[in-house]
Amino acid sequence: MADIKIKESKKGTIKTLDKGLINAQKLKDNIISVKDKTKETYENNYNSGEEYATGKITQTVSNTPNFLYRRNKEGIENLRKKKENIHKIKDKLYNFKRKTKIKQRAKSISKLRKNIKNNAKRTIKTAKTTVKTAKKTVKATVKTTQKVVKALKATVRATVTAIKVTVKATIATVKAIILGIKALIAAIAAGGWIVIVIILVICLIAFLCSSIYGIFFSNENEEGTNMSSVISELNDEFMKKITDIQNTTEHNEYEINSNRAEWKDILAIYVAKVSNGKDETELMTLDDKRVQTLKEIFWKMNNISSRTETKDDKTILYIEVTGKTAEEMMNEYNFNTKQRQQVQELLKDKYASLWNAVIYGTSSGSQDIVQVAKQQIGNVGGQPYWSWYGFSSRVEWCACFVSWCANQCGYIDAGIIPKFANCQNEGVAWFKTVGLWKDAGYLPQSGDIIFFDWENDGISDHVGIVEKTENSTIFTIEGNTSNDVCKQNEYNINSSDILGYGTPAY
């Protein structure tokens, strides 16, 4: 048999396959391909590099809300899956405990605890990284978000004005909202916190305005009648009745004994009557029917009467104002349990500042009466003021001075400030009667009338005009001060000598 010849291979002639080099070449080819495609897209669709960059940025910004929505949705879905996984783990652990022996179970549980602990550490670390990434994303999109917020603010205004929907707010709903906070936390971690906050603000405003608490926003109705205008109208009617009694009844002096119903009591009764005890009733807006209801309640709660007496050849006019309490009105209207609860809730002290904003609104005061008073600084004896009032000889003339200044501005004829010579029985009583009184501690405006109590017995002994307030110092112009002159003074806003203020509705 012939021998089989075998060709000897030369050392070094067998080529080995260099996979690294091949992969590098493929990567290079892919990069070149992508570059060519990008260049082709750029040249076909854009005229310049600047236009291309602008287009990319615009596309990214326009997609930001969708990105946030997706991240928010993904966060919620991840939370759901994690809950399911937790339940599955618990089930497996339970079955594992039943099938294994005590020693094996102890070892397995120990190992499982270690794994859970390690996983928890990794999860926390991942969560921190996610939060940092979300912060960077927020910074990059803050300008876009600001535009979105501005647009949403406009939407909120329109929504609040047009709101007429019924929202049933019950204790069960509130509890459900509280439980939902857990889901919100997960969504926030997923990057959707901006959208959530905006939605919550809109929902909160809508909820308040479409419930009985809308009464606190009743001055914000720009398109129709607002509450402050109705209150002002009723105050004017009330003052006119008192002025008519004074003008049509002969008298030398007058006294007002006032126990007028407070406006917050009147409005609380109004809320309960209109809502009939239903918290979801919208009370932000006013129509003719509601205005008429409020007026009827006002005059049911306030009554004005008068009489005259002659003493020492002087005719004294006594004006009596009697007001009903909220409790009396609840009984008169036969309110049900829910209506009574509404009134009691709205009259709590925590709503005091909100009521003040509705009832008194904001006032810039009056510089007119201040300028008139300034021109009188230096007068001694007060003869122009007490003689104008009708006295034939000197009297304590501080109130005559304030009345004279008010008359120069036309405020007495307009019913804005009363003509008074007695600080307590005529001045303080009048402002309290018409609902324009503020106790000490209030920050007065220029033109407010300041009443003093030197004896600290609750009775006013002196009166002046507020010139201005700077920080915690009140500057005044007063007649009949020390040495019987008209001059400027100043007091600390918390001075115990201040009884309170009349706040004319200039």
Distance, CA of 207 to CA of 213 (rounded, Å): 9
Separation CA 160–CA 204 (nearest Å):
11
For residues 448 and 294, what is the distance between their CA atoms, to the nearest angstrom? 28
* CB-CB contact of 275 with 341 (8 Å): no
Q: What are phi and psi of 449, to 5 degrees?
A: -100, 120
Classify 448 as helix, strand or coil. coil
Please state the domain extents for the chain.
64-209, 227-347, 368-502
- Is residue 270 pLDDT above 70, yes or no? yes
Percent of the chain exceeding pLDDT 70 equals 58
Report the pLDDT value the prediction gives residue 161, as an integer from 0 to 100: 45
What is the spatial distance between Cα 397 and Cα 478, in angstroms, rounded to a whole number? 10
The confidence band for 358, taking pLDDT boundaries of 50, 70 and 90, is confident
Residue 466 and residue 475 in contact, taking contact as beta carbons nearer than 8 Å:
yes
pLDDT in tens, 134-160: 455 545 544 544 554 454 445 444 444
pTM above 0.75, yes or no: no
Task: Find all residues with CB under 8 Å of 200, minimum gap 6, and list them.
Answer: none
C-alpha dihedral over 268, 232, 498, 395, to 10 degrees? -130
CB atoms within 10 A of CB 257: 13
Nearest to 173 by CA among 199, 202, 207: 207
Average pLDDT, the chain: 76
The model's confidence at residue 497, banded by pLDDT at 50, 70 and 90, is very high
pLDDT at site 198 = 56
Burial degree of 311 (CB within 10 A; 0-12, 13-18, 19+): exposed
Is residue 269 within 8 Å of residue 330, measured between CB atoms? yes
pLDDT in tens, 274-298: 999 998 888 888 899 999 999 999 9
Q: What local confidence, expressed as pLDDT, does residue 235 receive?
A: 81
Read off the DSSP letter of residue 4. P
Q: How many CB atoms lie within 10 A of CB 316?
A: 15
What is d(CA 171, CA 168) in angstroms, rounded to the nearest whole number? 10
Percent of the chain with pLDDT over 90: 34
- Measure the CA–CA gap between 208 and 284, rounded to whole angstroms: 9
Contacts of 75 (CB under 8 A, 6+ apart): 186, 187, 188, 189, 190, 191, 192
Least confident of 57-66, 394-403, 457-466: 57-66
Of 164, 425, 399, 372, the C-alpha closest to 280 is: 164
Q: Which residue has the tokens 């307009």?
A: 414
Rounded-to-integer distance, Cα 502 and Cα 429, Å? 10
Nearest to 466 by CA among 487, 486, 450: 450
Q: What is the mean pLDDT of residues 240-245?
A: 86
Of 504, 481, 506, the closest CA to residue 491 belongs to: 481
Q: What is the pLDDT of residues 176-233, one digit of tens each?
A: 544 555 555 555 555 555 555 555 555 555 555 557 888 888 877 666 788 888 888 8
Q: Does the structural domain 368-502 have CATH classification 3.90.1720.60?
A: yes
The helix/strand/coil state of 485 is strand
In the structure encoding, which two tokens stand for residue 165, read together? 């929907």
pLDDT of amino acid 175: 44
Query: Which secondary structure element, helix H or strand E, spans residue 451, and what is its range?
Result: strand 449-452
H-helix segments, 397-462: 398-408, 429-433
Tokens of 32: 């070149």
3 state DSSP class of 226: coil
Q: Is the pLDDT of residue 480 over 80?
A: yes
pLDDT for residue 173: 44
